[in-house]
Amino acid sequence: MPAAAPPAPQPPQLLHCSFYRFHPIAEPQAAAVQLRELASELKGLILLAGEGISAAVAGTPAAVQAFEAALLASGLLGPQADLLPGGAKPLMFKHSACATPPFGRLKVTVKPEIVALGLPHGEALPAPDEQDDTHLSPQAWRALLAQVERGQAVLLDNRNHFEWRLGRFRGAVDPGVHNFRDFVAYVEAHAPAWRAANQPVAMYCTGGVRCDKTAPWMRSLGLQVFQLEGGIMNYLASQPDAAQDWEGECFVFDRRIALDAQLRETDTPLEAVFDPTHPDEAWRLQRARRLNEA
């Protein structure tokens, strides 16, 4: 008697959605009011600034889908935000299933920048460009990782030190970031050697926004920079065998705490993520505890 077919996977009860877009927003406060209405059925954090939007929200799959459709139709990110002129790439919504509700409430806030990295403010730099061909698909990124193994490229983790410690791409360099200035100082110190060796820098972060914000400044130093399109989350979602390239877990800034290479929640507690003997991580631990209890 043939074995019974395994049951079809059930859709998640909760779906996490993260995205960002660098697009001028003339009136962020007014946009915030509109977004609170569009996302009223969701919980999470939406950041707005004159430079664009960055968000991580969660809800039922139907509520998430409705929000995404409403956002694209709203005009907040320009006409036809998912099909911009010039063959631009669609807005990338990165999804992962949730067993734990990631957020306790919805917060929509306006800030000077959607991501602040403490970059030098000397000569004006080009605006971040999510569309250029330095963004590598997961498949192209895997090919570049082979160059890293041969010493032909530098693999740079553009996240905090505690995130790198919890999990990373194999061979990734840890810049030791405890505050914004650390990444800048590390790149400035190593850029001459990277240029002299003609080594491109392959850079990644959780969702891509930090890399997009940092890349123009790094190119101003004469570096050839490549970025992982959609960040770690896109890579893990699109590569069933991602564990051959990714070791450890990926920290997420919500109540789930950490995901494995298949985007499944792990049982890693906050106390295993942060080192309370380091002042920067001690306050992060306390803040994370408060957020998880809220």
User: Which residues contact residue 232 at a Cβ distance below 8 angstroms, ignoring those fewer than 6 apart?
Assistant: 204, 205, 206, 207, 246, 250
Is residue 180 a contact partner of residue 91, using CB atoms and an 8 Å limit?
no
| Residue 201: φ, ψ to 5° | -105, 120
User: Is 98 tagged catalytic?
Assistant: no
Of 277, 255, 282, the C-alpha closest to 266 is: 255
- Residue 142: CA count within 13 A, CB half-sphere: 14
Report the amino acid identity of residue 219: R
Query: Closest Cα partner for 241 from 260, 258, 227, 262?
Result: 262
C-alpha distances in Å from residue 43, one per residue of 6, 114, 255: 33, 18, 12
- CA 96 to chain centroid, in Å, comes to 13
CB 224: neighbour CB atoms within 10 A? 15
The full DSSP string for 252-287 is -SSTT-EE-TTS-B----HHHHS-TTSHHHHHHHHH
**Which residue in 17, 205, 211, 250 is the catalytic one?**
205
Enumerate the active-site residues.
Answer: 205
